[in-house]
Homo-oligomer: A and B are copies of this chain.
């Protein structure tokens, strides 16, 4: 299902790694949906939102802050620049994006069997991103450390249902702000062989990410292969700031992929209505993607949308409500019309703990994510408390749901075996099917088997200690970490990576900004 690729340094080891990956029964590199996406708006509604986005770009414009080079680039492309405010003639951003942005692309992993195709009918799950805190049943909530970070990289590597190592799986708050990206990228490259995300907090940190990837994949390899996918967030409403523009530029120049994402809590960063959020999101992302295409035509870009609601009483973000689900469906359709991959959704929740609120809210985001046809799903596992906390047990529970989605998207098997007509013909009314030949033949693969769900009798459940879902998940992540084995890394690469990091760390003082 993935493009054939050859890695510079991986030689025959790649084949062995691929074989081992396939030995992991349920592991597939990404989902390929067979079902048409669910649509909540017709042609007329979608066209109206596109029209409104163009109106926003034309009349209000976007601010590109602290980046004169970006302003120059946009002016030369035909935009009107007034100070840092950039206004775009109708259709300009769309035509720039459509002229060169790929409809879909492969993000290559250092293990070719783990490469993912982003776009089209494909869906890639990555863990949650960006939380300063972590939580587990034993220690409760506390600041994340590099050990937690590595744990989540390892758990993601070990999960057959997550396809991508993600990025800032939690903030390693024990490391200096200006150097922690080196340790984070190192963990993704060393502790996993799934594709990963790069640093975006400063252009120099993006450059470090690119340089480290060049060590692992080979310098020239990056020139025509995307191996890094990074998250570029707008400062909504209608602002792109210097650090994000700088990181986006760095990645684009290296021909690496970026996700151009307006981050919107409706009511705060955008109007409270779905159609308003969609028009503004489209305007902001079009501007950002056009910028990237002007920096380097053809650099992969993903249209991102992070949109949720707020409590109109407290202003606190809320998740799993119906309005953001509607936004998600509309944005997915708009990305398809534009012809670029789409990132949104995940397992979002406001709950502090992995309880019923967390699960209901997460499901109310993850199911639309899959039915809408999202291509890259950040925050697919672990998210708690509006993203402030990465939860160990929540991670396990969410990954299980991702596994179920992998079955759902395959749709209904209409083969003769799937129709099972002979099995029904051969059976007698009133007699159960438990021992029939058809049942026995399909026993192993008939139904998704959750490792976390307890389906036993009440009496058995009591005997097993009356554990709730988080208690069972607690045992599972610990077992996964105990059994973790690092994917092999070429000793020369390993050494070069260590040397790069040591040199960089020694070259400037620690700082907490």
Q: Residues on A close to B: CB < 8 A?
A: 35-36, 38-41, 45, 48-49, 52, 55-56, 59-63, 85, 141, 235, 237-239, 266-276, 278-280, 309-312, 314-318, 320-323, 325-326, 330, 350-364, 367, 371, 385-386, 388-389, 397, 400-401, 404-405, 407-408, 411-414, 417-421, 423-425, 427, 429-434, 436, 438-439, 442-444, 446-450, 452-458, 461, 466, 468-470
B-side contacts of A55, CB under 8 Å: 421, 425
- Count of identical protomers in the assembly: 2
Q: Which residues of B contact A314 (CB under 8 A)?
A: 455-456
Q: Is the CB of B321 within 8 A of A450?
A: yes
Q: Is the CB of B367 within 8 A of A363?
A: yes
Q: Which of B35, B268, B354, B446 contacts A273 (CB 8 A)?
A: B446
Known: A309-B447, A320-B453, A363-B360. Contact between A419 and B40, CB under 8 A? no
Listed from nearest, the 4 A-B pairs whose CB atoms lie closest are: A276-B420, A363-B363, A359-B359, A271-B420
Report Cα–Cα, A310/B439, bound state, in Å: 12
Query: In the complex, are the beta carbons of A272 and B438 less than 8 A apart?
Result: yes
Cβ–Cβ contact A276 & B39, under 8 A: no
- A316, A352, A423, A429, most chain B CB atoms within 10 A: A429
Q: Which residues of B contact A446 (CB under 8 A)?
A: 266-267, 272-273, 309, 312, 323
Contact residues in B for A452 (Cβ distance below 8 Å): 357
Q: Considering the chains assembled together, what is the distance between the CA atoms of A407 and B309 in angstroms? A: 14
Chain B residues with CB under 8 Å of A316's CB are: 455-457
Q: Do A310 and B447 touch (CB < 8 A)?
A: yes
Report B-chain residues with C-beta under 8 Å of the C-beta of A39: 35-36
A350 touching B237 by the CB < 8 A rule? no
Give Cα distance in the complex from A417 to B306, angstroms: 22
- Contact, CB under 8 Å: A280 / B424: yes
Q: Determine the chain B residues whose CB is within 8 A of the CB of A364 once the complex forms.
A: 363, 367, 401, 404
Interface pair B315/A434, CB less than 8 Å apart = yes
For A40, what are the chain B residues with a Cβ–Cβ distance below 8 Å? 35, 411-412
**Least CB distance, A382 to chain B, in whole angstroms:** 13
Cα distance, A48 to B412, chains bound together (Å)? 12
A407 touches B322 (CB 8 A): yes
Contact B359 A237 (CB under 8 A): no
A85, A407, A411 interface centre (most CB from chain B within 10 Å): A411
Q: Could you tell me the distance in whole angstroms from the C-beta of A415 to the nearest C-beta in chain B?
A: 8
Asked if B363 and A60 sit within 8 Å, CB to CB, the answer is no
Chain B residue at smallest Cβ distance from A321 = B448
Contact A321 B41 (CB under 8 A): no
Cα A239 to Cα B430 in complex, Å, equals: 6
Whether B323 pairs with A447 at a CB distance below 8 angstroms is: yes
